[in-house]
Amino acid sequence: MSDPAFPRLRADVSTLPRYVPGRPAPDALVDKLSSNENPYPPLPSVIHAIEEELGRLNRYPDPAARELTAELAAFLGVPAGHLVLGTGSVGITQHLVAAAAGPGDEVLFAWRSFEAYPLITWAAGAASVQVPLREERHDLDALAGAVTDRTRLIFICNPNNPTGTAVRRAELERFLDRVPREVLVVLDEAYREFVDDPEVPDGVELYRDRPNVAVLRTFSKAYGLATLRVGFAVAHPRVAAALRACAVPFGVSGPAQAAAVASLRAGDELAERVADLVAERARVTQGLREAGYTVPESLANFVWLRLGARTADFTDACEAARLMVRPYGEEGVRVSIGAPDANDRLLKTAADWLR
Ligand code: PMP
């Protein structure tokens, strides 16, 4: 017979808030603007690369992902030894926290930010320390002020999920200069490719002469490979070695490795799609503002509407218009930038809802 007390698990596991993924779209007529996915299907060259791998599904993938690592090293201009691949950047996030923090330690991040941070911190047995956003942006002074001798890792999500806001070079450099060198700073740049403001620094430039800085990127968003689960960290050898030690063996599948290589080689085609999404982001932001919404400047592939108690009602109105958006309790709604017709419907729905 099953006994609810056994097997013994950590007592707080049942009270942990769950990661709330965007729900799958119920049918093809619904546009899913709830998971910051790329609305465009994979390029033919990427599908071809995946198909070539299918005859090898009985074999384990290359555990060192040599071809992808070499391509990425050349693309980013970093030593191959500074790259660690993982099952999406969220997989690497887990390994970073596991490598840096445990019971008695603190992991520091802004809130609201990517909701995996508190869950992963909990799983490592460490404590989350959350510093409220100020005007929807990272409050870097407050974050620096919250560092204690127990702080082991700080996440800076740039641009921030779910607000889309980004920190600029001078403020981020000042912050990094203030953080003690024993604390690992993780620049989560899952949405980096959508940044079109030159004042927003490229983490790969910032990490170079800072051994306590690591950068996270993903193939899930701009590269449109969310299903394949492939992301990576750029980090100095001490951190990279710790990440490899924590990694899940064979975590990145053969089709994922091949698709990522093909995507890097199709960089120009993908960049056009990213440019289209960035243009749509400007159109959506402007349309929402003209309709009367307050929309923080987003540099990612989504926008944030702080609707407070009206969050659920707005979400329902979108659903009635066959649009899935991502509500956050009674805080607000995050809406991913979709294809133009979905964005049109969003703008119309949002304008009608305010009337
Ligand atoms: N970081 C941030 C800020 C994200 O928003 C996401 C995806 N929602 C991830 C990391 C993880 O992406 P993935 O695991 O697909 O690479």
pLDDT of residue 249: 92
Burial of 283 (0-12, 13-18, 19+ CB in 10 A): middle
Dist. CA 190 → ligand 1 center (Å): 6
Q: Which runs of consecutive H residues, i.e. helices, occur in 36-87?
A: 44-54, 66-76
pLDDT of residue 288: 98
Dist. CA 90 → ligand 1 center (Å): 6
Which residues, given as ranges, of the chain have pLDDT below 50? none
Eight-state DSSP code of residue 85 = E
pLDDT of residue 346: 98
Q: Which runs of consecutive H residues, i.e. helices, occur in 247-336?
A: 254-265, 267-291, 311-320
Nearest atom, ligand 1, residue 157 CA: 3
Binding pocket residue ranges, ligand 1, CB within 6 Å: 36, 88-90, 114, 157, 161, 188, 190, 218, 220, 226, 231
Nearest atom, ligand 1, residue 220 CA: 15
pLDDT of residue 215: 98
The answer for residues whose C-beta is within 8 angstroms of residue 232's C-beta and 6 or more apart is 72, 83, 84, 85, 86, 89, 92, 216, 217, 218
pLDDT of residue 12: 83
**Do 113 and 161 meet the contact criterion of CB atoms below 8 Å apart?**
yes
Instruction: Output the residue whose Cα is nearest ligand 1's atom 2.
Output: 190
pLDDT of residue 1: 64
